[in-house]
Chain A
């Protein structure tokens, strides 16, 4: 079993829709949870960063962590064509050098 599982999609939604992206994980030691956005032929860029459980909001983006279910989500409200990208979840434990990445979900927002 992989440490982090992420549905690869592809996901296609109309402009203005609410998008839900999800990852599950198996290691209960994970404490830091990140979402990266990667445009085609570019490197990943950090979108959201959350420590432990709870919600974090930044503009149209909300990151949610449910440690009891080992499940994290990224919600995008009022999705825009510029949100079309691959979204990677990533996790790490409190200390250490390893980051564990999902394989990414490809999102297309149709105008």
Chain B
């Protein structure tokens, strides 16, 4: 089974701090995704990467950036954290573009004070 690992499960940061969320998948998937999940809003796509160094904005990219230097690793960066970025962040991967099944990590719960 594909494993998607999010190294930080719970983080507490202060407003204005730079935050890195790391995600690693171990089955050579081409595509990786970052979502945030909020009550009543469901999952919203932040960024998507279809290959190394390639990225596309999702529905809510403002305040976020991403990095994919290696195929297995996709990082989400909050340049200057704000309280409205308090959320559950979910990383996901899929085998290739057009494949219709996502595999999710366990999530990173970020609280910004």
Report B23 CB to chain A, min CB distance, Å.
11
**How many B residues touch A, CB cutoff 8 Å?**
23
Question: How many angstroms from the CA of A103 to the CA of B56 in the assembled complex?
Answer: 23
B48 contacts the other chain (CB 8 A): yes
What is the total of A-B residue contacts with beta carbons within 8 Å? 50
Within 8 A of A (CB), among B82-112: 90, 97-98, 100-107, 109
Contacts of A95 in B (CB 8 A): 97-98
Q: Is the interface of B mostly helix, strand, loop or mixed?
A: strand
- State whether B43 touches A43 (Cβ < 8 A): no
Contacts of B4 in A (CB 8 A): 43
- State whether A46 touches B42 (Cβ < 8 A): no
- State whether A101 touches B42 (Cβ < 8 A): yes
B contacts, CB < 8 Å to A: 4, 6, 31, 40-43, 45, 48, 50, 56, 90, 97-98, 100-107, 109
